[in-house]
Amino acid sequence: MKKLLLALLFVVFVIAGCKKEVTTISTVLAGNWNWVSTWRDSPKSATNPITPQNSGVQENLVINSNFHWKLIQNGSPSDSGTYSIGHGSYTPYKEAYIYIYDSINYFHSGTSINTDYYEISNDTLTFCGCYRGSSGASVKMYIKQ
């Protein structure tokens, strides 16, 4: 009986702990983010990085704490849906660098459409596959509005 009670308490604490972490991460991620630039894995040029100034595209990513997102381009909604967030690690081979990452998975009507790996530093949100160990990845940056 004592073992069963301990096991039940352990499960309750694990579930409560997981819910708290997700809420904290989504709260930090929530907000209006203005696109600043996208660097591609190629030499710097007039169009690398791509910016609102050289592309003519003003982009705003709205991430709500209720797990809904919306993409607005040039003042008009262009995409929206729901999202989930994750946290994980990736080791490409034994004794290699361990990549620890946060991710956001975008959905349309329950179907996953894309996953981005991100980092937030101060008021800057940066998406890059490099956070998950992908090489040749572009880097897309947003500033919190």
All structural domains of the chain with their residue ranges: 2-144
> In which element (H, E) is residue 72 found?
strand 68-73
Q: How far is CA 90 from CA 55, 74, 107, 126, 129, in A?
A: 34, 37, 23, 19, 12
Task: Give pLDDT, residue 11.
Answer: 37
pLDDT at residue 34 is higher than 70: yes
pTM metric for this prediction: 0.76
Burial call 5-43: b when 16+ CB within 10 Å, e when fewer: eeeeeeeeeeeeeeeeeeeebbeebbbebbbbbbebeee
Per-residue pLDDT, averaged over 80-109, amounts to 92
Task: Give pLDDT, residue 26.
Answer: 59
% helix / strand / coil in the chain, to the nearest 5?
25, 50, 25
User: Would you say the C-alpha torsion 123, 129, 134, 136 has a positive or negative sign?
Assistant: negative
User: Of 57, 61, 58, 72, whose CA–CA distance to 29 is shortest?
Assistant: 61
Task: Give pLDDT, residue 134.
Answer: 81
Task: Give pLDDT, residue 7.
Answer: 41
Task: Give pLDDT, residue 25.
Answer: 56
pLDDT at residue 56 is higher than 50: yes
Long-range contacts of 44-50 (CB under 8 A, 24+ apart): none
Going by pLDDT thresholds of 50, 70 and 90, the confidence category of residue 115 is very high
Task: Give pLDDT, residue 73.
Answer: 98
- Higher-confidence position of 11 and 61: 61
Task: Give pLDDT, residue 5.
Answer: 41
Q: Which range, 21-35, 59-73, 123-137, has the best average confidence (pLDDT)?
A: 59-73
